[in-house]
Amino acid sequence: MDAATKKSGKTAANNHIKRPVINMKDAAHAFGRIMKELFEANGKRLIVVAVCLVVAAIATSGASIYIINMVGTLFDSGKVRDEILKSLITGVIVMAFIYLLGIIAQFLRSRIMAVVTQKFLDETRKKMFNGMQNLPVKYFDTHTHGDIMSHYTNDIDAIREMVSQSLPNIFNSFIMLVTIFIIMLTYSLWLAMIVMGFSVIMLFVTKNVGGRSAKYFIRQQKSTARAEGFMEETMHGQKVIKVFNHEEEIKKEFDKVNEELYNDSKTAHTYANMLMPILGNVGNIMYVLLAFVGSMIIVYEGINVGLSGVSRTAAEIIPVVVGFLTMGRQFSVQIGQASQQLNAVVMALAGAQRVFELMDEKPEEDNGYVTLVHAKYNENGELCETEERTGLWAWKHPHRAEGTITYVPLRGDIEMREVDFGYVPEKIVLHDVSLHAKPGEKYAFVGATGAGKTTITNLLNRFYDIADGKIRYDGININKIKKSDLRKSLGMVLQDTNLFTGTIMENIRYGRLDATDEQVYEAAKIANAHDFITRLPQGYDTMLTNDGSNLSQGQRQLLAIARAAVADAPVMIMDEATSSIDTRTELLVQEGTDRLMKGRTVFVIAHRLSTVRNSDTIMVLENGRVIERGSHDELLALKGTYYALYTGAVELE
**Is residue 444, in this structure, part of any structural domain at all?**
yes
What is the predicted pLDDT for the residue at 5? 40
How far is the C-alpha of 561 from the C-alpha of 547, rounded, in Å? 16
Residue-level pLDDT at 420: 93
HSE-up (13 A, CA, CB side) for residue 189: 11
Tell which residue, 323, 390, 381, has the closest CA to residue 75: 323
CB-count burial class (<10 Å; 0-12, 13-18, 19+) for 265: middle
Do 285 and 321 share a structural domain? yes
Q: Same domain, yes or no, for 330 and 392?
A: no
Interhelix angle 453-460/2-14, rounded to 10 degrees, is: 100
Residue type, 647: T
Domain count, the chain: 3
Tell me if 123 is assigned to some domain. yes
Q: Report the residue count for the chain.
A: 653
- pTM score, two decimals? 0.70
Q: What Å distances lie between residue 596 and 44, 164, 393, 474, 554, CA to CA?
A: 60, 56, 18, 20, 19
CA distance linking residue 209 with residue 281, whole number of Å = 15
| Average pLDDT, consecutive stretches of 10 residues, N- to C-terminus, the chain (653 residues) | 39 39 70 89 89 84 66 58 72 80 89 91 91 87 81 87 88 84 79 84 80 76 80 76 78 88 84 80 84 76 53 63 78 81 81 88 88 88 84 87 87 91 86 90 85 86 90 93 90 80 89 88 87 90 80 82 86 74 67 70 80 86 90 89 75 45
C-alpha Rg value of the chain to the nearest Å: 36
Q: In terms of domains, do 235 and 297 share one?
A: yes
Residues 481 and 544 in one domain: yes
Does residue 572 form part of some domain? yes
Same domain, 420 and 400: no
Residue 19 placed within a domain: no
Q: For residue 181, is it within any domain?
A: yes
Whole-number Å distance between alpha carbons of 471 and 457: 12
**Quick one: pLDDT at residue 183?**
79
> Same domain for 494 and 350?
no
Cα separation, 227 vs 233, whole angstroms: 10
pLDDT confidence of residue 415? 93
| pLDDT score recorded for residue 414 | 92
Question: What's the CATH number where 580 sits?
Answer: 3.40.50.300
Same-domain check for residues 500 and 530: yes
Q: What is the CATH number of the domain that holds 158?
A: 1.20.1560.10
**Residue 653 domain-assigned (yes or no):** no
**Same-domain pairing of 195 and 70:** yes
Domain limits for position 636: 414-647
Single residue among 334, 359, 384 that ends a domain in this structure: 359
pLDDT of residue 69: 63
